[in-house]
Amino acid sequence: MIVKEFNIESSTYFGIECDKKVFSKKSQFQKIDVYYSKFFGNILMLDQCFMISQKNSEDYHLKCLELVGNKRKKNVCIIGGGDFGIVHHILKNKITHNIDLIEIDKDVIEVSKKYFNHYFKYVNHNNVNIIVDDGVKWIKKRKGLKYDVVIIDSTDPNDISKKLFSKSFYELVYNNLKSNGIFIQQSGSPVLHAKKIINPTIKKLNKVKFTNITCHKFSMPLYPLGVWSFIKCVKA
C-alpha cells in the first residue's frame, strides 16, 4: 500500500510504500497511525502527516542535537517531542541529566513506547520529568529554575499547536530562559513555509528581543520535498 501525506501549500502528495498499518487511534487531540515499511521500519503519523520512523530518518533529531551543542547543560525543556527522539539523543550524548518534557497528548507517548521503544533506552524517572499538559498553559504557570535550553518539537501550526508560534508564547519562553539560554523551534519546510512560518517567526522573536536568530536547513527524507528547518536564537 502507498501511504500518502497531502501538502496543501504545494497541492502535492508525498507517499511511502508500506506493508501494513499496525496501529490506529483517534486521541483527544489528533489521529494517531503507525505503519510498517521495509525501508523506514515503523512510521508514526499524526493527522495524516509523517512524523518519525524507526530508521533512515534521524536527520531531524541529529540537527536539533547539533544546535543544542555538545557543552553540558544543567536544565533542558522540550515542549512536544512525545516520541522521545530528541530526548534519546540528548541523554545518549550526555548533554544533560535533567529534562522536563511537556507533551499535550499522552497517547503519543504510549504509542511511541510501544512502537519506537529504542528512543526510551536512556530514560528513567531521575533524568526525565514527563508532564502531560498544554505547553503554553504549563510554562505560563511554571515557577522555578530557569532553563539553559528550550526546544519546541511540535507539529506545524494547527488548531492545537498554533499557540506555540505566537509572540506571547515566545515572551514566556524568554522569561523562562537563563541569560544566554538557547531557544530552538522546528519551523517547517524552507521551500513551502518561508512566508507562512519561518519569516513570521523570526519577526516575532526579534520583537521579543531574542538575538542571533538563525534558520538551519537539513535533509529529512520522511517529510515533503525532503528538506526541513529549525530556528535557533539566544536570550540576550
Structure confidence by residue, pLDDT tens digits, 82-110: 999 999 999 999 999 899 999 999 999 99
Domains of the chain: 2-53 (2.30.140.10), 59-235 (3.40.50.150)
Which set of grid coordinates corresponds to residue 136?
503554553
Q: Detail the DSSP E strand segments found in the chain.
A: 2-7, 12-17, 20-26, 31-37, 41-46, 49-53, 76-80, 99-103, 128-132, 147-153, 177-186, 210-219, 227-235
Q: Among all chains, which residue has been given the C-alpha cell 542535537?
A: 65
Return d(Cα 41, Cα 59) in angstroms, integer: 16
pLDDT given at position 144:
76
Burial class (CB in 10 A: 0-12, 13-18, 19+), 19: exposed
Which set of grid coordinates corresponds to residue 109?
507517548
Catalytic residues, by residue number, are 153
Instruction: Find the largest Cα–Cα distance for the chain.
Output: 50
Check: CB of residue 205 under 8 Å from CB of residue 233: yes
* Average pLDDT taken over every residue of the chain: 93
pLDDT in tens, 117-131: 999 999 987 789 999
